């Protein structure tokens, strides 16, 4: 207990007064700072500019000078190190997640690559026979074409021999146990050798004309390609395609090292960037192998031929890791730190781009395995027949085809039962062979489909989202697309050359396309980027229309539930359409646009569905249309 005197009380009151004074002073300081200098940059009050504010201007000028001094002022090394570490910490945290995803994506791609190549190693004899039939057919067509305008003895002999070879090829037997198989294999081999001898004789003949030699050379090259497949008839161990697939499996790159987040977090941002770059390159290489295997299966070509048809550009990324490391060593001022921070942000952004691009590749590669999964329990022969049948039914020669069952099967990811075969292969006069009606899931022709063009033209509405309860019924056309092109097709509509959009949909990528034919850049390749297009009518016209060109159009459609739909594709000239990475339409004919060119009954899964269309043009004008309609609509 203490005694309080009047003096003490007065002293205490005085002390309270000081506190009031101090607090008032602080308030004044804060209000003044807020009003004049937008204190600490925390707030911005409504300061309408006054006509005369010399003091304010001077203050702002001084602030600017101060900031400029700070910007160029050299900072102590320790301070710089601390700030750099702080900045790097945030970037590393983001990059670690991305690099980890890239590692996982690589692992997934490696597994898919192995699966796809293993499928090739199980290639049945039927695949080789179909390749031989395809090549003898092409050889015969070319020999007939030459003989049409060159009616001399030599070209006539070439034509006769090629027709003979084609007939033998059609008579070849798939079953190796059949006694006719060996005999007919011998026939085709001998006939091919005779054809090659004839071509060599023309080439060695000194009296042969120049164009005769040119044609002989061309035919010899085609028969040499055929020869490669004939060797494969000796058995699976002699099949060059299988050997190449086995070689690719043996040469597989080392599995991607899965570094833990803790290990990755120890790495500086420049090393993380370099690792991400290496991972993206590796993923791209693996994906190219997967795509090559897929193409080989789709086109029934050898791996070597499929690779030649693939137009592939590896990802080009700047050496940002190196730049970042160099920049880090020279940091001295605030300005340097600001630039470093920007560079760090750009680096993180680039790694994010790599992750997004690779994720797209993984999604595509997964799409390529869907058919294999759907046919999981089938034998290699049955799988091959199913694929051949899919390709055959997708082709434009079949006007109306129901593909919904196999698409549903693929979307659901279920394998068919072993008891349900995909149909029997039987020889026909058609060359590549046809297949009898298989089980429930196989594509089949549908009859009674008639697209009333005038009615559709008058009533079709644009759309991208489809709901069962929607008030819009009947035909709907897809009006919104991202389109890219033109690439060169040299007047061929065979869809053989593969361009980047078939490998991955990257809206930010820039490609080199067809060469300019006029203007100051004549002879230079055109720079191509995806362009957003919305058409006001059923037909969609690509930008930069050129003759002898290839375009790609990409869009997505949304369904609120799993739905079967009728799909009508039409194009000037030819087109190919993928729905969720499955070819549903492949028309290689040179034709004008006609709304009822053909239709498919297809399956759209609930949610978003991807559509990629390849458009080929030979003449000057080109356009395409894609319409959908519920199959029950009359």
Partner 1 sequence: MRLKLDTDEDEEISMGPLIDCVFLLLIFFLVATMLKKDDYDIDINPPISESAVKMPPRDDVLVIGIDNEGGFYWQGNATTLNQLHDRLRDVAASQPDRSIRLDVDQQTPFHRVVEVMNACQFRGLKDVGIRTYDKHYNSR
Contacting residues for 581 by C-beta, under 8 A, at least 6 apart: 364, 367, 368, 370, 610
Should residue 4 be labelled a site residue for partner 1 when binding is judged by CB under 8 A? yes
Nearer of residues 530 and 578 to partner 1, judged by Cβ: 530
Should residue 519 be labelled a site residue for partner 1 when binding is judged by CB under 8 A? no
Tell me which stretch binds partner 1 (CB under 8 A): 19-27, 82-90, 278-286, 623-631. 19-27
Nearer of residues 44 and 151 to partner 1, judged by Cβ: 44
Binds partner 1 (CB under 8 A): choice among 20, 50, 458, 471: 20
Q: Which helix (H) or strand (E) holds 391?
A: helix 380-394
Note whether 347 and 269 are within 8 A (CB). yes
Nearer of residues 27 and 594 to partner 1, judged by Cβ: 27
Should residue 468 be labelled a site residue for partner 1 when binding is judged by CB under 8 A? no
Peptide bond into 412 cis (omega under 30): no
Nearer of residues 14 and 522 to partner 1, judged by Cβ: 14
Should residue 515 be labelled a site residue for partner 1 when binding is judged by CB under 8 A? no
State the nearest-atom distance from the C-beta of 363 to partner 1, in Å. 12
Tell me which stretch binds partner 1 (CB under 8 A): 16-24, 150-158, 581-589, 613-621. 16-24
Q: Hey, is 569 helix, strand or coil?
A: strand
Size of the site for partner 1 (CB under 8 A): 42
Question: Interface residues for partner 1 in 354-373 (CB under 8 A)?
Answer: 356-357, 360
Should residue 467 be labelled a site residue for partner 1 when binding is judged by CB under 8 A? no
Note whether 365 and 283 are within 8 A (CB). no
Q: Hey, is 4 helix, strand or coil?
A: coil
Should residue 101 be labelled a site residue for partner 1 when binding is judged by CB under 8 A? no
Which of 351, 270, 362 has its CA nearest to residue 94?
Answer: 351
Tell me which stretch binds partner 1 (CB under 8 A): 87-95, 346-354, 440-448, 610-618. 346-354
Q: Hey, is 205 helix, strand or coil?
A: coil
Q: Hey, is 318 helix, strand or coil?
A: coil
CB atoms within 10 A of CB 607: 12
Should residue 87 be labelled a site residue for partner 1 when binding is judged by CB under 8 A? no
Which of 573, 561, 631, 625 has its CA nearest to residue 600?
Answer: 631
Q: Rounded to 5 degrees, what are φ and ψ at 417?
A: -75, 150
Place of tokens 């750009």: 346
Using only C-alpha atoms, what is the Rg of the chain? 35
Should residue 507 be labelled a site residue for partner 1 when binding is judged by CB under 8 A? yes
Nearer of residues 175 and 510 to partner 1, judged by Cβ: 510
Read off the tokens for 368. Answer: 């390529």
State the nearest-atom distance from the C-beta of 513 to partner 1, in Å. 19
Should residue 353 be labelled a site residue for partner 1 when binding is judged by CB under 8 A? yes
Q: How far is Cα 183 from Cα 173, in angstroms, rounded to an integer?
A: 10
Should residue 179 be labelled a site residue for partner 1 when binding is judged by CB under 8 A? no
Tell me which stretch binds partner 1 (CB under 8 A): 23-31, 301-309, 399-407, 582-590. 23-31
Q: How is 523-554 classified by DSSP, letter by letter?
A: TSEEEE--EEEE-SSSSB--SS--SSEEEEEE
Cα three-residue angle 220-223-226, rounded to 5 degrees: 155
State the nearest-atom distance from the C-beta of 544 to partner 1, in Å. 15
Which of 379, 355, 632, 614 has its CA nearest to residue 495?
Answer: 614
Q: Rounded to 5 degrees, what are φ and ψ at 458?
A: -80, -30
State the nearest-atom distance from the C-beta of 5 to partner 1, in Å. 7
Should residue 632 be labelled a site residue for partner 1 when binding is judged by CB under 8 A? no
- Bridging pattern class, strands 563-572 and 623-629: antiparallel
Note whether 269 and 88 are within 8 A (CB). yes
Should residue 12 be labelled a site residue for partner 1 when binding is judged by CB under 8 A? yes
Should residue 51 be labelled a site residue for partner 1 when binding is judged by CB under 8 A? no
Site string for partner 1, 558-597 (x = CB under 8 A): x---------------------------------------
Site string for partner 1, 475-504 (x = CB under 8 A): -----x------------------------
Should residue 50 be labelled a site residue for partner 1 when binding is judged by CB under 8 A? no
Q: How far is Cα 599 from Cα 448, in angstroms, rounded to an integer?
A: 11
Each residue of 182-200: b (16+ CB within 10 Å) or e? eebbebbbebbeebbebbe
Binds partner 1 (CB under 8 A): choice among 42, 55, 458, 471: 42
Q: Rounded to 5 degrees, what are φ and ψ at 533?
A: -135, 135
Should residue 76 be labelled a site residue for partner 1 when binding is judged by CB under 8 A? no
Nearer of residues 20 and 55 to partner 1, judged by Cβ: 20
Place of tokens 């990257």: 506
Should residue 534 be labelled a site residue for partner 1 when binding is judged by CB under 8 A? yes
Question: Interface residues for partner 1 in 203-232 (CB under 8 A)?
Answer: none
Should residue 15 be labelled a site residue for partner 1 when binding is judged by CB under 8 A? yes
Residues of the shown chain interacting with partner 1 in the complex, contacts defined by CB under 8 A:
1-6, 8, 12-13, 15-16, 19-20, 22-23, 26-27, 30, 34, 42-44, 46, 345, 349, 352-353, 356-357, 360, 464-465, 480, 506-508, 530, 532, 534, 556, 558, 608
């Amino acid at each position: 207990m203490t005694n309080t005197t009047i003096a003490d009380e007065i002293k205490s009151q005085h002390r309270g007064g000081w506190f009031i004074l101090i607090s008032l002073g602080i308030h004044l300081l804060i209000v003044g700072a807020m009003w004049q200098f937008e204190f600490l940059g925390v707030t911005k009050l409504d300061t309408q500019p006054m006509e005369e504010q010399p003091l304010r201007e001077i203050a702002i000028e001084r602030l600017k000078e101060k900031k400029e001094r700070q910007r160029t002022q050299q900072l102590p090394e320790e301070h710089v190190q601390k700030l750099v570490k702080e900045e790097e910490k945030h970037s590393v945290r983001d990059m670690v997640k991305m690099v980890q995803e890239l590692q996982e994506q690589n692992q997934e791609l490696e597994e898919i690559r192995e699966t796809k190549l293993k499928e090739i190693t199980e290639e049945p004899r039927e695949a080789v026979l179909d390749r031989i039939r395809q090549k003898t057919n092409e050889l015969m067509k070319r020999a007939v074409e030459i003989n049409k305008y060159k009616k001399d003895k030599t070209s006539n002999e070439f034509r006769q021999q090629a027709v003979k070879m084609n007939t033998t090829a059609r008579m070849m037997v798939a079953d190796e146990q059949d006694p006719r198989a060996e005999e007919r294999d011998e026939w085709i081999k001998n006939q091919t050798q005779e054809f090659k001898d004839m071509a060599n004789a023309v080439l060695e003949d000194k009296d042969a004309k120049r164009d005769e030699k040119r044609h002989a050379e061309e035919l010899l090259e085609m028969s040499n390609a055929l020869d490669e497949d004939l060797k494969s008839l000796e058995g699976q161990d002699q099949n060059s395609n299988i050997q190449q697939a086995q070689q690719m499996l043996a040469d597989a790159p080392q599995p991607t090292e899965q570094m833990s987040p803790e290990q990755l977090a120890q790495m500086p941002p420049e090393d993380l960037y370099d690792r991400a770059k290496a991972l993206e390159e590796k993923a791209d290489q693996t994906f190219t192998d997967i795509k090559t295997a897929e193409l080989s299966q789709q086109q029934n070509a050898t791996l070597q031929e499929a690779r030649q048809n693939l137009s592939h550009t590896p990802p080009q990324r700047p050496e940002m890791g190196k730049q970042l490391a160099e920049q880090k060593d020279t940091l001295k001022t605030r300005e340097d730190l600001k630039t470093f921070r920007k560079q760090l942000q750009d680096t993180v952004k680039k790694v994010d781009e790599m992750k997004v691009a690779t994720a797209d590749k993984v999604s595509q590669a997964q799409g390529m395995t869907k058919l294999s999964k759907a046919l999981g329990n089938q034998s290699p022969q049955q799988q091959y027949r199913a694929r051949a049948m899919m390709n055959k039914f997708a082709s434009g020669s079949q006007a109306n085809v129901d593909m919904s069952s196999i698409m549903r099967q693929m979307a659901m990811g279920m394998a068919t039962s072993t008891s349900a075969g995909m149909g029997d292969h039987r020889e026909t006069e058609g060359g590549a062979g046809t297949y009898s009606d298989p089980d429930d899931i196989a594509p089949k022709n549908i009859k009674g489909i008639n697209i009333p063009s005038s009615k559709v033209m008058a009533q079709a509405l644009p759309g991208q989202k489809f709901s069962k309860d929607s008030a819009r019924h009947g035909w709907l056309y897809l009006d919104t697309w991202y389109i890219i092109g033109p690439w060169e097709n040299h007047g061929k509509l065979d869809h053989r050359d593969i361009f980047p959009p078939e490998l991955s949909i990257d809206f930010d990528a820039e490609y080199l396309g067809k060469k300019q034919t006029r203007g100051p850049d004549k002879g230079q390749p055109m720079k191509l980027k995806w362009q957003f297009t919305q058409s006001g009518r059923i037909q969609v016209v690509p930008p930069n229309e050129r003759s002898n060109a290839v375009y790609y159009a990409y869009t997505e459609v949304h369904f609120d539930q799993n739905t079967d739909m009728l799909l009508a594709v039409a194009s000037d000239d030819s087109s190919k359409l993928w729905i969720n990475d499955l070819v549903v339409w492949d028309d290689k004919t040179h034709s004008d646009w006609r709304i009822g060119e053909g239709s498919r009954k297809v399956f759209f899964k609930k949610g978003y569905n991807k559509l990629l269309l390849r458009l080929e043009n030979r003449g000057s004008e080109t356009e395409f249309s894609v319409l959908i309609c519920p199959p029950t609509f009359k």
